[in-house]
Structure 1
């Protein structure tokens, strides 16, 4: 009798649930809207379980407020009629407020947010989002045109929210790509989930403010976040030294892949964080890093690092020194860190007690490093110890090189043979060594498993000479017209002749302009500049004769310049096998002049001849506010000759005390300088002036009757080598430390000095 009664109750309960489900499906409504006005009307009537569908098309200047109250079983959804076919352009954004909301299928491009975020999980400080999800959205180069105007692309507030399977590529203006905010009680202990996103290339920003993901801020860093960052792909995220900046407690960073990304996963503030099962593929790219450890009770286990070249704060693996009794925004002492079963293959630098100085004197304590494997094919041991590391108990690790003496007892040198497994990772082949390093079950997430399946992960930089070839003759207007009509990546080949240009040529695409026969295509110009590199532009010149004799008789001309202000896109400039002459119509006629705010990823001059110039060759010194901003990342000069140049060959300036960037880098090899830098308007007082440059290599050059090389070191432990040069009637290089105490650290050696 009891069993029959129980069965009857179960049937009644099931029928009730089915009835509720049917009723729920009956009530739920789909609202197809085709204008902001229609959207607002729908939002006034929306009920739990309803779905608002944005009609396909371009929605211009649409600020979406998605504020509603769904339920766990009946969330309210905002989606695209066709995923990827609803484009939010102009000044558009999205704010979520309420509970159990779902957004999917939207694309933000061709514009920027008028507010502080493109997507914000709140309406305002009082109205946040909870238990809500944003999935399969795209933010593609949706940048404020003012590079120094800061915003987020995604700002997570509230609690129990999820951001997943989305595509974030090309953030160029200041500000974190994605930020988890803990600035109110309602946003702390939040248990957010950030998973399966494609964080695509973020260009070098050139100053602080270029992180890809930040969890918390220093002000709330002793607060727990409980954010999970899992199964994301970080592809060439190069904004600054911190790719992920953890500034809160009890977060899990797991199963992510970092591909050729310059910088590190940094445990900057906060305690009790877990970094596990992440994979770093550097592939030998400059400044690729791994993990940086600061603070208390951090757990770093089963992470795989390969081909990482970074050093100092951006090294393959870093354990920092702290500041005694540190303020909340400085460096807390490393205490009780466990670094276990990690694999480090061809990692150039492992730095312990890094940053040790008068302020950062608190050495790591109560920490362990065990079960790790370290293999370098070049047989160079990677460890650098900057202070006492006795507080790190190093036991039961193996390496294929002999390590520094203080660590030798805990890192056994062994012959280690490795083989790549099906998961793409290297493992030792000897059975007794299998217990070291990462587990064989570790499976790096593939790029195609992240982001929305319907949005292609295309290349973000157009290579030179990757498009069509156009051959033109030296007729009036042909060069100007060819450039205007060309497509990104195209090559314009100049037949022999004299090309006289009467208009400023704007370069807003990637172009190569080359002579069919080297030196037989001459270009002269009648404006204050020949080329102006604008947003989206990169320029390569090859085999040309560039002449300034027809330009206006005024001072301050330049053969090439960038936009004078307002550039958001990084650019590249390359010139090979060319001749530059006649930049002497008036004083201060420069070859290349950077505008303020312009940033070059790469400037290269190779095998060119420069003669009779009254200004500078490369003017990359416009960021004089000393905020850590600079104008070029890599500047390379090889096999060029410079004669009778009144200004400086290079003026390269990075001021301030910010340490979050890697550049500038200067490489100057096998060049000859004769009478360079001696003009009375050369305020730098040097043929080469570098201030705050982080890496400089000046070697095998000949300086004759030229001004000095002047080096000014600021912060960041700059590396300067001035070696094997010949100085004829030219004074010795000078170097000074403007921030560090003591003699300069520049290596000025093996040079020859002659006088006639």
Structure 2
């Protein structure tokens, strides 16, 4: 039975309808009238597909709320569909599950019944992600017109799909007039593919019409899903007064014309690939913004002005025309890229555009300007740049000494009063954490990092299997000198360190494989030996299982591994659909085994790849099939990685399939100060974007010279090959 109470807010007509189960909720929705509030009782509402429909009024909306904000948990396979007008949702928390459909909160019931003039406020979606990162959904899908999402908290999306999208379909209203404000968009780790935007407004198909959506005074905190943090694919939108913190990627005016990006504040904090605003299409205005500490380059520069495609189809790159880039401060930025992406296809340079009254201070005293094509169509006037030795630009960019002082608002401005009219305005007011999100909610404590738990001594005659099962997240299992027999793979379901105690020399004797990482797991091995010589091979020492929540880590430090030689025991393998933030190998030895890091499981052409970073240093490889085999397919340019680095290591008597190290599709490759002897060579394959490859100061004895191949680029192979010494095979 639905409990009905007279609402103090609407004493004459409105009712508060308290419901305690799904059947009561459905009954309440049917009888709700303008001014009524449906209240979900505190507790867990599991597998609850909420349909909230009705017709309120501007003065008397129909509301759906929590009995106590933050104490109504919507879990399992749940979602929310809103349809009608003047509806209000507040106080709910979605976590510990994932939507059974492709949307968590949708401003429509079905394709014919949309929401208008409705609002979602103080709602939380935290980690409500599908376990396979390739399974796509949208957390908030805005349809209809005049809707608002505000003071809400979105954090921890790890699967494909936009966090919040304005959906504009042919036949639906396109002049949306939505407002997205005062939200906290919390950490979103790299997806490892295209499709990880935090906000997207429209798609290319309807992009030549205006949406008139406003995105203002939100915080984007480490929202690093892909290169487009905010992807604008429509016209007439305003993106203003947002605060962007250490977020990889940029605000991108991808499609559509006449958008305004103003008074936003970007703090990159030196994080790689942190960018600002990328400009494409006509009549875009980027003014009065503040950029500091942005380390990105190319498409992730502090300011990027793209080259276009002549007579471009709607989903490619329209030529930049009549852009206005005015009154911005670019402080300690690595790059400002003009005519970006110029190539045989993107051959239409910017035209009729202005770059005026901007303040430019390059990182490390360097000139941040780069021109990848013709920039005669950009007029420069009234800009001031901190003096560099050989500036790219002359007229319109004055070189002078610039002394900066940090003002009360936390931003840097020139101390010289004569420069007061250059750069970002002095009245910028960064939005604060207290202003955004749900005031009553803060995300869970981050998962315990390696080594932050307790250290548990494990005697040589103890069961390591039991010790792993008993360990808590962040714990360290400290092994004594002796042999630990691993009859079956250890199941690792939390971040765990297995390490030899100080001065101890433990040996893990493996019958088949060492460990399988399950959901929530991560593994660090330190100061120990692994004897897998008796393994039958045909498997992996450490396997990451299907369905593991993305963004795990694996680290090996001072580890020696002896494989079986026969068969093929690989080192680390990862199932498709999983994703590692980083795999690190330092000061370790590997012999008589297959591929030490086998990362070719993602075979989809969309561009998925299995790990963001692989770093190898100070390690030795002898008689292995390959040191690493990394694959990223596809030609989409919307990812940061993979990153691969190898330094100070040696490879001997190794190789398979013509390579002892094969890196395909990486965006960043740095191979330096290594030695290769009697082995197959290095093969780096470029497939997408503008990859940065350096192969330097390596020694190749009885080993072929390194090769770089291009799959799409029509020119000579790109990359730096410097200081390498190649001794021919005898």
Find 2:630's aligned residue among 640, 643, 652.
652
2:553 aligned with 1:572: yes
**Could you report, residue by residue, the CA deviation over 1:9-53 in whole angstroms, capped at 9, with x for unpaired residues?**
xxxxxxxxxxxx999522211110000000011112111111110
Which of 492, 510, 514 aligns to 1:530? It is 514
How far residue 186 of structure 1 moved from its aligned partner, in angstroms, is 4.3
SS of corresponding position for 1:194:
strand
Assess if the C-alpha contact under 8 Å between 1:198 and 1:234 holds in 2: yes
Query: Which one has a bigger Cα radius of gyration?
Result: 1
Give the Å deviation of 1:184.
4.5
What residue in structure 2 maps to residue 548 of structure 1?
532
1:272-330 CA distances to partner (integer Å, 9 max, x unpaired)?
11101111111111111110001111111111111111111111110011111111111
* 1:213 corresponding residue in structure 2: 199
Correspondence 1:675 to 2:653? yes
Q: CA deviation at 1:446?
A: 1.8
Question: Number of residue pairs matched?
Answer: 723
Task: Output the CA distance in 2 between the equivalents of 1:367 and 1:509.
Answer: 53
The RMSD of aligned alpha carbons is: 1.7
Q: How does 1:354-365 map to 2 (within 5 A)?
A: 354-365=340-351
Indicate the larger mover: 226-235 or 372-381. 372-381
Counterpart for residue 204 of structure 1: 190
* TM-score where L is the length of structure 1: 0.93
Summarize deviations over 1:436-475 as a string: whole Å, max 9, x none: 1111110111223211111114454532211222122122
Higher mean C-alpha deviation, range 592-601 or range 90-99: 592-601
| C-alpha contact (below 8 Å) 2:626/2:659 kept by paired residues | yes
Contact 2:132 2:577 in 1 (8 A): no
Does the 8 A contact of 1:403 with 1:411 survive in 2? no
Q: Indicate which of 671, 675, 690 corresponds to 1:702.
A: 675
- Corresponding position of 1:11: none
Cα distance, 1:492–1:448 mapped onto 2, change above 3 Å: farther
After TM superposition, what 4+ stretches of structure 1 lie above 6 angstroms from structure 2?
403-406
2:477 to 477, 492, 501: 492
- Relative to structure 1, the CA distance from residue 332 to residue 582 in structure 2 (aligned partners, 3 Å threshold; closer, same or farther) is closer
Provide the secondary structure at the position in 2 that maps to 1:154: strand
Give the match's secondary structure for 2:418. helix
**Other-structure match for 1:611:** 591
The reply on whether 1:426 has 2:426 as its aligned counterpart is: no
Note if contact 2:553-2:580 (Cα within 8 Å) is conserved in structure 1.
yes
Determine whether 1:664 maps to 2:642.
yes
The aligned residue for residue 540 of structure 2 is 558
Which residue of the partner structure matches residue 641 of structure 1? 620
Aligned pairs (5 A) from 1:50-65? 50-65=36-51
**For the Cα contact (< 8 Å) 1:142–1:171, is it kept in 2?**
yes
- Tell me what 2:3 maps to: none
What is aligned with 1:343?
Answer: 329
Deviations 1:153-194 (A, max 9, x none): 000011111101111111111111110011145432111110
Q: CA deviation at 1:537?
A: 1.3
Q: Does structure 1 conserve the Cα–Cα contact (< 8 Å) formed by 2:563 and 2:569?
A: no
Matched residues in 2 for 1:372 and 1:138: separation? 38
CA contact (8 A) 2:217 2:431 kept: yes
Q: Secondary structure at the match of 2:376?
A: coil
- Per-residue CA distance 1:550-571 (angstroms, 9 max, x = gap): 43x3x412211111x3333221
Question: 1:670 Cα deviation (Å)?
Answer: 0.5
- Whole-angstrom CA distance in 2 between matches of 1:178 and 1:523: 47
Q: Partner of 2:12: helix, strand, or coil?
A: helix
Asked whether the 8 Å contact 1:700–1:725 carries over to 2, the reply is yes
1:99 corresponds to: 85
Rounded Cα–Cα distance in structure 1 between residues aligned with 2:426 and 2:389:
26
Which runs of 5 or more structure 2 residues have no equivalent in the other structure? 1-6
> Are 1:133 and 2:106 counterparts?
no
Task: Please say which of residues 603-612 and 214-223 is displaced more in the overlay.
Answer: 603-612
CA–CA distance in structure 2, aligned partners of residues 73 and 625 of structure 1: 51
Alignment partner, residue 563 of structure 2:
582
Hey, what's the Cα distance between the residues in 2 that align with 1:518 and 1:289?
Answer: 46
**Quick check: 1:719 aligned with 2:692?**
yes
Displacement of 1:622 in angstroms is: 1.4
Residues 459 and 480 of structure 2 are in contact (CA less than 8 Å); yes or no, is this contact kept in structure 1?
yes
Please name the residue that 1:46 is paired with.
32
Separation in structure 2 between the aligned mates of residue 394 and residue 448 of structure 1, nearest angstrom: 39
What is the alpha-carbon distance in structure 1 between the residues aligned to residue 534 and residue 538 of structure 2? 15
Over 3 Å counting, the alpha-carbon distance change for 1:249 and 1:23 in structure 2 is closer
Structure having the higher helix fraction is: 1
Match of 2:280 among 294, 305, 327: 294
Rounded to whole Å, the distance in 1 between the matches of 2:94 and 2:155 is 11
Displacement of 1:751 in angstroms is: 1.1
Cα deviation code 1:616-670 (max 9, x no counterpart): 111011123332111111111100011222x011101111111111211111100
Superposed displacement of residue 690, structure 1: 1.1
Structure 2 CA distance for aligned equivalents of residues 742 and 334 of structure 1? 25
Where is the strand percentage greater, Structure 1 or Structure 2? 2
1:730 corresponds to 2:703: yes
Structure-to-structure mapping, 1:298-313, within 5 angstroms: 298-313=284-299
Task: Give the aligned partner of residue 4 of structure 1.
Answer: none
Distance 1:639 1:23 in 2: 68
CA contact (8 A) 1:109 1:142 kept: yes
Q: Pick from 393, 416, 429 the counterpart of residue 407 of structure 1.
A: 393
Aligned partners of 2:660 and 2:682 also within 8 Å: yes
The alignment partner of 1:514 has SS state of: strand
- Superposition deviation, residue 547 in structure 1: 1.1
Q: Classify the secondary structure of the residue corresponding to 1:465.
A: coil
Deviation of the 1:403 alpha carbon? 8.1
Q: 1: CA distance between counterparts of 2:506 and 2:530?
A: 9
**Alpha-carbon distance, 1:434 to partner:** 1.6
> Given that residues 376 and 401 in structure 1 are in contact (C-alpha distance below 8 angstroms), is that contact kept between their aligned partners in structure 2?
no
TM-score (ref. length: structure 2): 0.97
Instruction: State how far apart, in whole Å, the 2-side matches of 1:146 and 1:541 are.
Output: 26
User: SS at the partner of 2:342?
Assistant: coil
Structure 1: give runs of 5+ residues left out of the alignment. 1-20
**Would the aligned equivalents of 2:573 and 2:598 in 1 still touch at CA under 8 Å?**
yes
- The structure 1 residue matched to 2:571, chosen from 591, 594, 613, is 591
Q: Contact 1:476–1:500 at 8 Å: present in 2 too?
A: no
Match of 1:268 in 2: 254
